[in-house]
A and B are shown apart, each in its own frame.
Chain A
Amino acid sequence: MNSFVLYLYLVKATVTAFSGLTSLPVIQHDLVDVRHVLTESQLNAAVAAGRTAPGPNGSYVISVGYFVDGIPGAIAGYFAMITPAFLILPLLRYVGSRAEQPRVKGAIQAVTIAAAALIVSATLPLARDSITGWLPAAIAAASFLTVALTKIDTFWIMATSAAAGLAAFFLHL
Chain B
Amino acid sequence: MNRAPARDLLWLYTRIGNTTFGGGDPTMAALQKQLLDRQWITPDEYGMVYGIARATPGTNVTAFCAGTGWLARGLLGAVLAAVGSTLLSSIVVVLLTAGFLFWRDNPLAMAAINGMLAAASGLMGGAALVLLSPHYPKRAVRATAILAFAALLTFRFGLTPIQVLGLAAIVGAIWKP
Contact = CB atoms under 8 A, between A and B. Distances in A.
Interface of A: 14-20, 45-46, 48-60, 62-63, 66-67, 71, 74, 78, 81-89, 91-92, 95-96, 99, 102-123, 126-127, 129-131, 135-137, 139-148, 151, 153-155, 157-166, 168-169
A81 B65 CA distance: 13
Contact of B63 (A88, A112, A126): A88
A103 B171 CA distance: 10
Closest 8 CB pairs of A and B: A110-B172, A165-B115, A112-B47, A84-B58, A147-B126, A143-B122, A55-B89, A58-B59
A151 B120 CA distance: 16
A92 to B, nearest CB: 5
Nearest to B135: A113
A81 B39 CA distance: 29
Contact of A143 (B18, B123, B147): B123
Given A18-B55, A55-B17, A106-B177, 16 more contacts: A14-B57, A52-B103, A54-B89, A56-B27, A88-B49, A108-B51, A108-B169, A112-B131, A117-B154, A117-B164, A118-B161, A123-B121, A123-B124, A158-B21, A165-B112, A168-B115
Contacts of B67: 88-89, 92
Contact of B94 (A66, A127, A146, A147): A66
Contact of A110 (B59, B103, B125, B171): B171
